[in-house]
A and B are shown apart, each in its own frame.
Chain A
Protein backbone atom coordinates (compact mmCIF):
# COMPACT_ATOMS: atom_id res chain seq x y z
CA UNK A 1 0.00 0.00 0.00
CA UNK A 2 1.48 3.29 -0.99
CA UNK A 3 1.49 6.21 1.37
CA UNK A 4 0.04 9.42 -0.04
CA UNK A 5 -0.73 12.64 1.74
CA UNK A 6 -3.60 14.42 -0.01
CA UNK A 7 -2.69 17.73 -1.62
CA UNK A 8 -4.97 19.85 0.58
CA UNK A 9 -3.49 18.31 3.74
CA UNK A 10 0.01 18.87 2.43
CA UNK A 11 -0.84 22.51 1.74
CA UNK A 12 -2.09 22.82 5.32
CA UNK A 13 1.14 21.24 6.55
CA UNK A 14 3.28 23.57 4.45
CA UNK A 15 1.46 26.51 6.01
CA UNK A 16 2.04 25.12 9.53
CA UNK A 17 5.77 24.90 8.86
CA UNK A 18 5.87 28.64 8.14
CA UNK A 19 4.87 29.29 11.77
CA UNK A 20 8.35 28.42 12.93
CA UNK A 21 11.78 29.90 12.24
CA UNK A 22 13.20 26.36 12.57
CA UNK A 23 11.35 23.66 10.63
CA UNK A 24 11.92 20.93 13.23
CA UNK A 25 9.59 22.80 15.60
CA UNK A 26 6.66 21.79 13.42
CA UNK A 27 7.18 18.07 14.22
CA UNK A 28 4.39 17.76 16.79
CA UNK A 29 1.92 19.70 14.67
CA UNK A 30 2.69 17.50 11.67
CA UNK A 31 2.30 14.35 13.74
CA UNK A 32 -1.10 15.60 14.92
CA UNK A 33 -2.13 16.43 11.35
CA UNK A 34 -1.16 13.01 10.00
CA UNK A 35 -2.60 11.08 12.93
CA UNK A 36 -5.89 12.93 12.56
CA UNK A 37 -5.99 11.99 8.90
CA UNK A 38 -4.66 8.41 8.96
CA UNK A 39 -5.71 7.42 12.49
CA UNK A 40 -2.19 6.48 13.55
CA UNK A 41 1.45 7.18 12.77
CA UNK A 42 2.83 4.52 10.49
CA UNK A 43 6.52 4.11 9.65
CA UNK A 44 5.74 5.69 6.29
CA UNK A 45 4.23 8.73 8.02
CA UNK A 46 7.31 9.06 10.23
CA UNK A 47 9.60 8.93 7.22
CA UNK A 48 7.39 11.37 5.31
CA UNK A 49 7.54 13.94 8.16
CA UNK A 50 11.28 13.51 8.54
CA UNK A 51 11.79 14.16 4.86
CA UNK A 52 9.45 17.16 4.94
CA UNK A 53 11.35 18.74 7.83
CA UNK A 54 14.85 17.75 6.77
CA UNK A 55 15.31 15.40 9.72
CA UNK A 56 16.34 11.80 10.26
CA UNK A 57 13.38 9.44 10.78
CA UNK A 58 14.63 8.68 14.30
CA UNK A 59 14.08 12.37 15.24
CA UNK A 60 10.40 11.88 14.50
CA UNK A 61 10.11 8.30 15.74
CA UNK A 62 11.43 9.27 19.19
CA UNK A 63 8.54 11.71 19.50
CA UNK A 64 5.96 9.08 18.55
CA UNK A 65 7.30 6.75 21.24
CA UNK A 66 7.50 9.48 23.90
CA UNK A 67 4.29 11.47 23.63
CA UNK A 68 1.29 9.45 24.86
CA UNK A 69 -1.14 10.92 22.32
CA UNK A 70 0.61 9.40 19.30
CA UNK A 71 0.02 5.78 18.44
CA UNK A 72 1.73 3.46 16.01
CA UNK A 73 -1.24 1.12 15.65
CA UNK A 74 -4.67 2.02 14.32
CA UNK A 75 -7.36 2.73 16.91
CA UNK A 76 -11.14 2.61 16.70
CA UNK A 77 -13.20 5.14 14.81
CA UNK A 78 -14.17 6.60 18.17
CA UNK A 79 -11.49 6.83 20.85
CA UNK A 80 -12.82 7.13 24.38
CA UNK A 81 -10.36 8.54 26.91
CA UNK A 82 -11.44 8.32 30.52
CA UNK A 83 -9.54 10.42 33.05
CA UNK A 84 -7.86 8.21 35.65
CA UNK A 85 -6.29 10.79 37.96
CA UNK A 86 -7.32 11.66 41.51
CA UNK A 87 -10.32 13.99 41.31
CA UNK A 88 -11.94 11.87 38.61
CA UNK A 89 -11.05 8.67 40.46
CA UNK A 90 -12.86 10.10 43.51
CA UNK A 91 -15.74 10.94 41.20
CA UNK A 92 -16.09 7.39 39.90
CA UNK A 93 -13.89 7.22 36.80
CA UNK A 94 -12.90 3.61 37.44
CA UNK A 95 -16.54 2.57 37.41
CA UNK A 96 -17.03 4.62 34.27
CA UNK A 97 -14.09 2.94 32.55
CA UNK A 98 -15.42 -0.44 33.60
CA UNK A 99 -18.87 0.50 32.30
CA UNK A 100 -17.49 1.31 28.85
CA UNK A 101 -15.40 -1.85 28.77
CA UNK A 102 -18.25 -4.14 29.83
CA UNK A 103 -20.66 -2.51 27.45
CA UNK A 104 -18.25 -2.83 24.53
CA UNK A 105 -17.00 -6.31 25.39
CA UNK A 106 -13.52 -5.21 26.43
CA UNK A 107 -11.45 -6.22 29.45
CA UNK A 108 -11.79 -3.58 32.20
CA UNK A 109 -8.50 -4.69 33.75
CA UNK A 110 -6.37 -4.71 30.63
CA UNK A 111 -3.61 -2.13 30.42
CA UNK A 112 -3.55 0.49 27.69
CA UNK A 113 -5.74 1.16 24.70
CA UNK A 114 -8.19 -1.56 23.64
CA UNK A 115 -10.24 -1.66 20.47
CA UNK A 116 -13.47 -3.49 19.75
CA UNK A 117 -13.34 -6.25 17.11
CA UNK A 118 -15.40 -4.22 14.66
CA UNK A 119 -12.90 -1.36 14.95
CA UNK A 120 -15.58 1.11 15.99
CA UNK A 121 -14.50 1.95 19.54
CA UNK A 122 -11.27 2.20 21.49
CA UNK A 123 -11.20 2.77 25.24
CA UNK A 124 -8.29 3.87 27.36
CA UNK A 125 -7.47 5.52 30.64
CA UNK A 126 -5.55 8.78 30.39
CA UNK A 127 -4.01 11.09 32.97
CA UNK A 128 -5.64 14.31 34.22
CA UNK A 129 -7.70 16.03 31.52
CA UNK A 130 -8.01 19.31 33.46
CA UNK A 131 -11.70 19.06 34.20
CA UNK A 132 -11.44 18.06 37.88
CA UNK A 133 -14.37 20.21 39.00
CA UNK A 134 -16.88 18.18 37.02
CA UNK A 135 -15.53 14.69 37.62
CA UNK A 136 -15.57 12.19 36.07
CA UNK A 137 -14.56 13.62 32.71
CA UNK A 138 -13.73 11.95 29.42
CA UNK A 139 -13.10 12.62 25.77
CA UNK A 140 -14.74 10.96 22.80
CA UNK A 141 -12.45 11.87 19.91
CA UNK A 142 -12.25 15.69 20.10
CA UNK A 143 -15.33 16.13 22.28
CA UNK A 144 -14.86 16.73 25.97
CA UNK A 145 -17.60 15.45 28.29
CA UNK A 146 -18.02 16.41 31.93
CA UNK A 147 -19.87 14.85 34.85
CA UNK A 148 -20.30 11.61 32.93
CA UNK A 149 -22.84 9.33 34.60
CA UNK A 150 -23.38 5.84 33.21
CA UNK A 151 -26.57 7.07 31.53
CA UNK A 152 -24.65 9.91 29.92
CA UNK A 153 -21.97 7.45 28.84
CA UNK A 154 -24.60 5.34 27.05
CA UNK A 155 -25.92 8.47 25.38
CA UNK A 156 -22.43 9.35 24.16
CA UNK A 157 -21.97 5.84 22.76
CA UNK A 158 -25.39 6.05 21.12
CA UNK A 159 -24.40 9.19 19.24
CA UNK A 160 -21.36 7.49 17.73
CA UNK A 161 -22.58 6.31 14.35
Chain B
Protein backbone atom coordinates (compact mmCIF):
# COMPACT_ATOMS: atom_id res chain seq x y z
CA UNK B 1 0.00 0.00 0.00
CA UNK B 2 2.83 2.37 0.80
CA UNK B 3 4.52 1.58 -2.53
CA UNK B 4 1.30 2.43 -4.36
CA UNK B 5 1.35 5.95 -2.96
CA UNK B 6 -2.46 5.84 -2.66
CA UNK B 7 -3.82 8.97 -1.00
CA UNK B 8 -7.25 9.05 0.63
CA UNK B 9 -10.03 9.93 -1.77
CA UNK B 10 -12.38 11.34 0.84
CA UNK B 11 -10.96 14.82 1.11
CA UNK B 12 -7.78 15.08 3.14
CA UNK B 13 -5.58 13.16 0.68
CA UNK B 14 -3.64 11.45 3.45
CA UNK B 15 -1.45 8.46 2.59
CA UNK B 16 -3.56 5.34 2.96
CA UNK B 17 -0.59 3.06 3.67
CA UNK B 18 0.61 5.41 6.39
CA UNK B 19 -2.87 5.55 7.91
CA UNK B 20 -2.94 1.78 8.10
CA UNK B 21 0.54 1.69 9.62
CA UNK B 22 -0.65 3.82 12.55
CA UNK B 23 -3.10 1.15 13.66
CA UNK B 24 -2.25 -0.15 17.10
CA UNK B 25 -1.83 -3.88 16.51
CA UNK B 26 -0.56 -4.71 19.97
CA UNK B 27 -3.41 -3.45 22.09
CA UNK B 28 -5.04 -6.86 22.20
CA UNK B 29 -8.34 -5.16 21.30
CA UNK B 30 -10.22 -5.94 18.10
CA UNK B 31 -9.43 -3.75 15.10
CA UNK B 32 -12.35 -2.29 13.16
CA UNK B 33 -12.62 -0.96 9.64
CA UNK B 34 -15.28 1.48 8.59
CA UNK B 35 -16.02 2.44 5.03
CA UNK B 36 -17.04 6.08 4.96
CA UNK B 37 -19.90 6.18 2.45
CA UNK B 38 -21.45 9.27 4.01
CA UNK B 39 -20.84 11.18 0.79
CA UNK B 40 -22.25 14.63 1.50
CA UNK B 41 -19.73 17.28 0.53
CA UNK B 42 -21.72 19.51 -1.83
CA UNK B 43 -20.60 18.88 -5.40
CA UNK B 44 -19.55 15.27 -4.76
CA UNK B 45 -21.45 12.32 -6.21
CA UNK B 46 -18.84 9.68 -7.04
CA UNK B 47 -19.42 7.23 -4.18
CA UNK B 48 -23.11 6.98 -5.04
CA UNK B 49 -22.10 5.87 -8.54
CA UNK B 50 -19.65 3.26 -7.26
CA UNK B 51 -22.18 1.83 -4.81
CA UNK B 52 -24.96 1.74 -7.37
CA UNK B 53 -22.93 0.45 -10.29
CA UNK B 54 -20.32 -1.82 -8.73
CA UNK B 55 -20.94 -2.60 -5.06
CA UNK B 56 -18.78 -5.73 -5.30
CA UNK B 57 -15.71 -3.68 -6.16
CA UNK B 58 -16.10 -1.93 -2.83
CA UNK B 59 -16.79 -5.14 -0.94
CA UNK B 60 -13.75 -6.85 -2.49
CA UNK B 61 -11.58 -3.86 -1.59
CA UNK B 62 -12.93 -3.97 1.94
CA UNK B 63 -12.32 -7.70 2.35
CA UNK B 64 -8.70 -7.32 1.23
CA UNK B 65 -8.20 -4.28 3.48
CA UNK B 66 -9.71 -6.10 6.45
CA UNK B 67 -7.54 -9.15 5.82
CA UNK B 68 -4.41 -6.96 5.64
CA UNK B 69 -5.26 -5.26 8.92
CA UNK B 70 -6.57 -8.30 10.79
CA UNK B 71 -10.07 -6.86 10.98
CA UNK B 72 -12.89 -9.27 11.85
CA UNK B 73 -15.80 -6.86 11.83
CA UNK B 74 -16.30 -3.95 9.45
CA UNK B 75 -19.07 -1.48 8.67
CA UNK B 76 -20.16 0.51 5.69
CA UNK B 77 -21.53 3.80 6.99
CA UNK B 78 -23.80 4.97 4.21
CA UNK B 79 -25.77 8.20 4.01
CA UNK B 80 -29.32 7.93 5.23
CA UNK B 81 -30.47 9.58 2.01
CA UNK B 82 -29.20 6.63 -0.03
CA UNK B 83 -31.71 3.91 0.92
CA UNK B 84 -31.34 2.24 -2.49
CA UNK B 85 -27.57 2.16 -2.07
CA UNK B 86 -27.97 0.51 1.33
CA UNK B 87 -30.27 -2.13 -0.20
CA UNK B 88 -27.86 -2.77 -3.07
CA UNK B 89 -24.98 -3.17 -0.65
CA UNK B 90 -26.97 -5.54 1.55
CA UNK B 91 -27.86 -7.63 -1.50
CA UNK B 92 -24.22 -7.68 -2.62
CA UNK B 93 -23.05 -8.64 0.88
CA UNK B 94 -25.55 -11.48 0.85
CA UNK B 95 -24.12 -12.70 -2.45
CA UNK B 96 -20.60 -12.50 -1.05
CA UNK B 97 -21.66 -14.45 2.03
CA UNK B 98 -23.27 -17.12 -0.14
CA UNK B 99 -19.94 -17.60 -1.94
CA UNK B 100 -18.09 -17.65 1.39
CA UNK B 101 -16.16 -14.48 0.54
CA UNK B 102 -17.50 -13.32 3.89
CA UNK B 103 -18.37 -15.11 7.10
CA UNK B 104 -16.53 -17.87 8.92
CA UNK B 105 -13.36 -19.46 7.57
CA UNK B 106 -13.39 -17.57 4.26
CA UNK B 107 -12.53 -19.99 1.41
CA UNK B 108 -10.86 -22.31 3.90
CA UNK B 109 -8.31 -19.68 4.94
CA UNK B 110 -9.21 -19.77 8.62
CA UNK B 111 -9.98 -16.08 8.40
CA UNK B 112 -13.39 -14.77 9.58
CA UNK B 113 -14.90 -11.46 8.52
CA UNK B 114 -18.32 -9.87 8.69
CA UNK B 115 -19.37 -6.59 7.07
CA UNK B 116 -22.59 -4.76 7.95
CA UNK B 117 -24.30 -1.75 6.45
CA UNK B 118 -25.09 1.09 8.84
CA UNK B 119 -27.28 3.97 7.76
CA UNK B 120 -26.73 7.59 8.75
CA UNK B 121 -29.62 10.01 9.05
CA UNK B 122 -28.87 13.20 7.19
CA UNK B 123 -26.04 14.84 9.08
CA UNK B 124 -23.04 16.14 7.08
CA UNK B 125 -20.81 16.07 10.16
CA UNK B 126 -20.92 12.25 10.09
CA UNK B 127 -18.43 12.46 7.22
CA UNK B 128 -15.84 13.62 9.77
CA UNK B 129 -14.27 10.35 10.85
CA UNK B 130 -14.56 10.74 14.61
CA UNK B 131 -18.08 12.12 14.25
CA UNK B 132 -18.85 9.08 12.13
CA UNK B 133 -17.49 6.81 14.85
CA UNK B 134 -19.66 8.49 17.51
CA UNK B 135 -22.64 8.10 15.20
CA UNK B 136 -21.88 4.43 14.68
CA UNK B 137 -21.76 4.06 18.46
CA UNK B 138 -25.35 5.29 18.51
CA UNK B 139 -24.66 8.82 19.71
CA UNK B 140 -24.88 12.32 18.36
CA UNK B 141 -22.06 12.67 15.83
CA UNK B 142 -19.97 15.10 17.83
CA UNK B 143 -16.39 14.91 16.53
CA UNK B 144 -13.83 13.86 19.15
CA UNK B 145 -10.83 15.79 20.33
CA UNK B 146 -7.60 14.71 18.63
CA UNK B 147 -5.37 13.87 20.45
CA UNK B 148 -6.03 11.51 22.13
CA UNK B 149 -8.83 10.11 19.97
CA UNK B 150 -6.94 9.22 16.81
CA UNK B 151 -9.10 6.46 15.33
CA UNK B 152 -6.04 4.30 14.61
CA UNK B 153 -5.56 4.01 18.37
CA UNK B 154 -8.85 4.98 20.03
CA UNK B 155 -11.63 4.63 17.49
CA UNK B 156 -14.85 2.64 17.49
CA UNK B 157 -15.58 1.42 21.05
CA UNK B 158 -12.16 2.86 21.97
CA UNK B 159 -10.51 0.20 19.79
CA UNK B 160 -8.07 0.73 16.90
CA UNK B 161 -10.12 1.70 13.84
CA UNK B 162 -9.48 2.46 10.19
CA UNK B 163 -11.86 4.81 8.42
CA UNK B 164 -11.47 4.91 4.63
CA UNK B 165 -13.52 6.45 1.86
CA UNK B 166 -15.43 4.27 -0.63
CA UNK B 167 -13.18 5.13 -3.56
CA UNK B 168 -10.01 4.58 -1.50
CA UNK B 169 -11.13 1.07 -0.58
CA UNK B 170 -12.02 0.31 -4.21
CA UNK B 171 -8.47 1.23 -5.18
CA UNK B 172 -7.10 -1.38 -2.76
CA UNK B 173 -8.45 -4.16 -4.95
CA UNK B 174 -6.56 -2.79 -7.97
CA UNK B 175 -3.38 -2.18 -6.00
CA UNK B 176 -3.31 -5.81 -4.89
CA UNK B 177 -3.99 -7.03 -8.44
CA UNK B 178 -1.45 -4.73 -10.12
CA UNK B 179 1.16 -4.46 -7.40
CA UNK B 180 1.95 -1.20 -5.62
CA UNK B 181 4.80 -0.17 -7.92
CA UNK B 182 2.73 -0.71 -11.05
CA UNK B 183 -0.21 1.25 -9.57
CA UNK B 184 2.16 4.11 -8.74
CA UNK B 185 2.91 4.45 -12.46
CA UNK B 186 -0.64 5.69 -12.93
CA UNK B 187 -1.10 9.38 -12.36
CA UNK B 188 1.80 11.65 -11.46
CA UNK B 189 4.52 11.42 -8.77
CA UNK B 190 3.05 11.74 -5.26
CA UNK B 191 -0.40 11.86 -6.87
CA UNK B 192 -0.76 8.28 -7.99
CA UNK B 193 -3.62 6.26 -9.37
CA UNK B 194 -6.89 7.36 -10.82
CA UNK B 195 -9.61 9.52 -9.35
CA UNK B 196 -13.23 10.10 -10.10
CA UNK B 197 -13.93 13.77 -10.63
CA UNK B 198 -17.48 14.95 -9.97
CA UNK B 199 -18.14 17.83 -12.34
CA UNK B 200 -21.22 19.95 -11.80
CA UNK B 201 -22.55 23.46 -12.21
CA UNK B 202 -22.63 25.42 -15.43
CA UNK B 203 -20.96 23.20 -18.02
CA UNK B 204 -22.41 21.42 -21.02
CA UNK B 205 -21.67 17.91 -19.81
CA UNK B 206 -21.71 17.67 -16.04
CA UNK B 207 -20.97 14.19 -14.78
CA UNK B 208 -18.36 11.94 -13.19
CA UNK B 209 -15.10 11.33 -15.00
CA UNK B 210 -12.25 9.06 -14.01
CA UNK B 211 -8.83 10.51 -14.73
CA UNK B 212 -5.26 9.62 -13.88
CA UNK B 213 -4.52 12.02 -11.06
CA UNK B 214 -2.79 15.14 -12.39
CA UNK B 215 -3.02 14.05 -16.04
CA UNK B 216 -5.80 16.52 -16.82
CA UNK B 217 -5.97 20.20 -15.97
CA UNK B 218 -8.96 22.04 -14.55
CA UNK B 219 -9.36 23.70 -17.94
CA UNK B 220 -9.42 20.35 -19.74
CA UNK B 221 -11.96 18.97 -17.28
CA UNK B 222 -14.24 21.91 -17.98
CA UNK B 223 -13.67 22.37 -21.72
CA UNK B 224 -12.52 19.09 -23.27
CA UNK B 225 -15.30 17.34 -25.24
CA UNK B 226 -14.40 14.12 -23.39
CA UNK B 227 -15.19 15.80 -20.08
CA UNK B 228 -17.27 18.91 -19.42
CA UNK B 229 -17.48 19.97 -23.07
CA UNK B 230 -17.16 23.67 -22.27
CA UNK B 231 -19.39 26.35 -20.87
CA UNK B 232 -22.95 26.95 -22.01
CA UNK B 233 -23.30 29.02 -25.20
CA UNK B 234 -22.38 32.66 -24.84
CA UNK B 235 -21.20 32.36 -21.26
CA UNK B 236 -17.86 33.28 -19.75
CA UNK B 237 -16.14 31.58 -16.84
CA UNK B 238 -16.43 33.42 -13.55
CA UNK B 239 -15.04 31.01 -10.98
CA UNK B 240 -14.40 27.39 -10.13
CA UNK B 241 -14.89 25.66 -6.80
CA UNK B 242 -12.24 22.99 -7.29
CA UNK B 243 -12.62 20.38 -4.56
CA UNK B 244 -16.03 20.32 -2.95
CA UNK B 245 -17.84 23.28 -1.47
CA UNK B 246 -15.33 23.73 1.37
CA UNK B 247 -12.38 24.32 -0.93
CA UNK B 248 -11.27 27.87 -1.64
CA UNK B 249 -12.72 29.27 -4.84
CA UNK B 250 -10.52 29.97 -7.88
CA UNK B 251 -11.32 33.10 -9.87
CA UNK B 252 -11.17 33.00 -13.66
CA UNK B 253 -7.85 34.38 -14.84
CA UNK B 254 -6.07 33.89 -11.52
CA UNK B 255 -2.37 33.03 -11.86
CA UNK B 256 -0.28 30.94 -9.51
CA UNK B 257 3.40 30.18 -9.16
CA UNK B 258 3.78 26.41 -9.26
CA UNK B 259 7.00 24.68 -8.26
CA UNK B 260 8.13 22.36 -11.04
CA UNK B 261 11.27 20.40 -11.76
CA UNK B 262 12.76 21.39 -15.10
CA UNK B 263 15.97 19.55 -16.05
CA UNK B 264 16.56 18.62 -12.42
CA UNK B 265 16.21 22.16 -11.15
CA UNK B 266 13.36 23.58 -9.09
CA UNK B 267 11.74 26.42 -10.96
CA UNK B 268 8.58 28.38 -10.44
CA UNK B 269 6.21 28.36 -13.37
CA UNK B 270 3.45 30.90 -13.66
CA UNK B 271 0.25 28.95 -14.21
CA UNK B 272 -3.25 30.09 -15.03
CA UNK B 273 -5.96 28.53 -12.85
CA UNK B 274 -7.29 26.65 -15.87
CA UNK B 275 -3.87 25.10 -16.44
CA UNK B 276 -3.55 23.73 -12.92
CA UNK B 277 -3.06 19.95 -13.12
CA UNK B 278 -5.95 18.37 -11.24
CA UNK B 279 -4.08 16.71 -8.41
CA UNK B 280 -3.53 17.08 -4.66
CA UNK B 281 -0.27 19.03 -4.70
CA UNK B 282 -0.87 21.56 -7.49
CA UNK B 283 -4.13 22.71 -5.95
CA UNK B 284 -2.48 22.95 -2.55
CA UNK B 285 0.17 25.20 -4.11
CA UNK B 286 -2.64 27.33 -5.53
CA UNK B 287 -3.92 27.85 -1.99
CA UNK B 288 -6.88 25.55 -2.30
CA UNK B 289 -7.41 21.78 -2.39
CA UNK B 290 -8.73 18.99 -4.54
CA UNK B 291 -10.66 17.75 -1.49
CA UNK B 292 -13.30 15.26 -2.55
CA UNK B 293 -12.46 15.94 -6.23
CA UNK B 294 -15.68 17.78 -6.93
CA UNK B 295 -15.55 20.70 -9.33
CA UNK B 296 -18.41 23.21 -9.40
CA UNK B 297 -18.26 25.57 -12.38
CA UNK B 298 -19.69 29.08 -12.10
CA UNK B 299 -20.20 31.24 -15.18
CA UNK B 300 -20.81 34.98 -15.57
CA UNK B 301 -24.58 34.68 -15.15
CA UNK B 302 -24.30 33.83 -11.46
CA UNK B 303 -24.16 36.25 -8.61
CA UNK B 304 -21.28 35.16 -6.37
CA UNK B 305 -23.06 36.66 -3.35
CA UNK B 306 -25.97 34.27 -3.96
CA UNK B 307 -23.53 31.38 -4.37
CA UNK B 308 -21.82 32.09 -1.07
CA UNK B 309 -25.16 32.63 0.67
CA UNK B 310 -26.26 29.20 -0.53
CA UNK B 311 -23.08 27.54 0.75
CA UNK B 312 -23.14 29.37 4.07
CA UNK B 313 -26.71 28.31 4.68
CA UNK B 314 -25.53 24.73 4.21
CA UNK B 315 -22.75 25.12 6.78
CA UNK B 316 -24.98 26.92 9.28
CA UNK B 317 -27.42 24.01 9.00
CA UNK B 318 -24.75 21.33 9.29
CA UNK B 319 -22.55 22.64 12.10
CA UNK B 320 -22.95 20.11 14.90
CA UNK B 321 -23.05 22.89 17.46
CA UNK B 322 -20.39 21.52 19.74
CA UNK B 323 -17.90 24.40 19.46
CA UNK B 324 -19.10 27.98 19.91
CA UNK B 325 -16.96 29.64 17.19
CA UNK B 326 -18.31 27.26 14.56
CA UNK B 327 -21.92 27.06 15.77
CA UNK B 328 -22.30 30.83 16.13
CA UNK B 329 -19.87 31.84 13.38
CA UNK B 330 -21.44 29.72 10.67
CA UNK B 331 -24.87 31.09 11.60
CA UNK B 332 -23.71 34.72 11.70
CA UNK B 333 -22.11 34.35 8.29
CA UNK B 334 -25.27 32.82 6.90
CA UNK B 335 -27.47 35.55 8.43
CA UNK B 336 -25.20 38.28 7.09
CA UNK B 337 -25.30 36.74 3.63
CA UNK B 338 -29.04 36.33 3.90
CA UNK B 339 -29.50 40.06 4.45
CA UNK B 340 -27.08 40.79 1.59
CA UNK B 341 -29.19 38.70 -0.74
CA UNK B 342 -32.51 40.10 0.50
CA UNK B 343 -31.97 43.81 -0.04
CA UNK B 344 -30.93 44.47 3.53
CA UNK B 345 -27.17 44.48 3.11
CA UNK B 346 -24.67 46.95 4.52
CA UNK B 347 -21.54 48.44 3.03
CA UNK B 348 -19.38 46.91 5.73
CA UNK B 349 -20.78 43.39 5.36
CA UNK B 350 -17.83 42.20 3.25
CA UNK B 351 -15.35 43.06 5.98
CA UNK B 352 -17.70 41.82 8.66
CA UNK B 353 -17.95 38.41 6.95
CA UNK B 354 -14.18 38.06 6.77
CA UNK B 355 -13.84 39.10 10.40
CA UNK B 356 -16.19 36.31 11.47
CA UNK B 357 -14.60 33.78 9.12
CA UNK B 358 -11.11 34.60 10.42
CA UNK B 359 -12.22 33.93 13.97
CA UNK B 360 -13.50 30.39 13.49
CA UNK B 361 -10.61 28.21 12.28
CA UNK B 362 -7.08 27.73 13.51
CA UNK B 363 -7.44 25.40 16.46
CA UNK B 364 -10.49 27.08 17.96
CA UNK B 365 -12.73 24.18 17.04
CA UNK B 366 -12.55 20.43 17.61
CA UNK B 367 -12.78 19.41 13.97
CA UNK B 368 -12.05 20.81 10.53
CA UNK B 369 -15.64 21.95 9.98
CA UNK B 370 -14.49 25.32 11.33
CA UNK B 371 -12.08 25.57 8.41
CA UNK B 372 -14.62 24.12 5.98
CA UNK B 373 -17.21 26.82 6.68
CA UNK B 374 -14.67 29.67 6.73
CA UNK B 375 -12.68 28.92 3.59
CA UNK B 376 -15.49 29.66 1.13
CA UNK B 377 -16.31 32.93 2.89
CA UNK B 378 -12.68 34.03 3.12
CA UNK B 379 -11.91 33.17 -0.49
CA UNK B 380 -15.11 34.44 -2.10
CA UNK B 381 -14.98 37.78 -0.30
CA UNK B 382 -11.24 38.21 -0.94
CA UNK B 383 -11.53 37.45 -4.65
CA UNK B 384 -14.88 39.09 -5.40
CA UNK B 385 -14.86 41.85 -2.80
CA UNK B 386 -16.28 44.44 -5.21
CA UNK B 387 -19.42 42.36 -5.74
CA UNK B 388 -20.06 42.13 -2.01
CA UNK B 389 -19.34 45.81 -1.32
CA UNK B 390 -21.43 46.94 -4.29
CA UNK B 391 -24.41 44.94 -3.11
CA UNK B 392 -24.19 46.21 0.45
CA UNK B 393 -23.70 49.80 -0.70
CA UNK B 394 -26.65 49.66 -3.08
CA UNK B 395 -28.88 48.34 -0.31
CA UNK B 396 -27.72 51.00 2.09
CA UNK B 397 -28.36 53.79 -0.42
CA UNK B 398 -31.80 52.47 -1.26
CA UNK B 399 -32.86 52.47 2.39
CA UNK B 400 -34.60 55.55 3.72
CA UNK B 401 -32.36 57.30 6.24
Residues of A within 8 A of B (CB): 19-22, 24-29, 31-32, 53, 59, 62-63, 66-70, 81, 84-87, 89-90, 126-135, 139, 142-144
> Is B42 touching A132 in the complex (CB atoms < 8 A)?
yes
Q: How many chain B residues have a CB neighbour from A under 8 Å?
A: 54
> Which 9 A-B residue pairings sit nearest by Cβ, starting from the closest?
A67-B121, A132-B200, A27-B138, A24-B138, A68-B122, A69-B122, A87-B200, A69-B121, A19-B116
In the assembled complex, 21 residue pairs joining A and B whose CB atoms fall closer than 8 Å, in A order, are A20-B116, A28-B121, A31-B121, A63-B140, A66-B123, A68-B123, A69-B81, A85-B245, A85-B314, A86-B201, A87-B42, A90-B201, A90-B302, A130-B44, A130-B47, A130-B82, A131-B45, A132-B294, A134-B206, A142-B84, A143-B84
Residues of B within 8 A of A (CB): 30, 39-45, 47-48, 73, 79-84, 116, 118-124, 135-141, 157, 198-202, 206-208, 241, 245, 294, 296, 298, 302, 307, 310-311, 313-314, 317-318
Most buried by A among B121, B206, B208, B313: B121
For residue A26, give the distance in angstroms from its CB to the closest CB of chain B: 7
For residue A144, give the distance in angstroms from its CB to the closest CB of chain B: 6
Known A-B contacts: A89-B310, A134-B206, A135-B206. Give 12 more (CB < 8 A).
A22-B138, A28-B120, A31-B121, A53-B138, A63-B121, A84-B314, A85-B314, A86-B43, A90-B298, A132-B201, A133-B206, A142-B84
> Is B40 touching A130 in the complex (CB atoms < 8 A)?
yes
Which residues on A sit within 8 Å (CB–CB) of B198? 132-133
> Is A29 touching B200 in the complex (CB atoms < 8 A)?
no
For residue B60, give the distance in angstroms from its CB to the closest CB of chain A: 21
- State the CA gap A63–B241 with chains docked (Å): 33
Which residues on A sit within 8 Å (CB–CB) of B313? 84
> Is A29 touching B119 in the complex (CB atoms < 8 A)?
yes
> Is B81 touching A126 in the complex (CB atoms < 8 A)?
yes
For residue B78, give the distance in angstroms from its CB to the closest CB of chain A: 11
- State the CA gap A23–B122 with chains docked (Å): 21
- State the CA gap A134–B45 with chains docked (Å): 10
For residue B207, give the distance in angstroms from its CB to the closest CB of chain A: 5
| Residue from the list A31, A66, A128 in contact with B314, Cβ < 8 A | A128
For residue A86, give the distance in angstroms from its CB to the closest CB of chain B: 5
Which residues on B sit within 8 Å (CB–CB) of A26? 138
| Residue from the list A25, A62, A126, A144 in contact with B140, Cβ < 8 A | A62
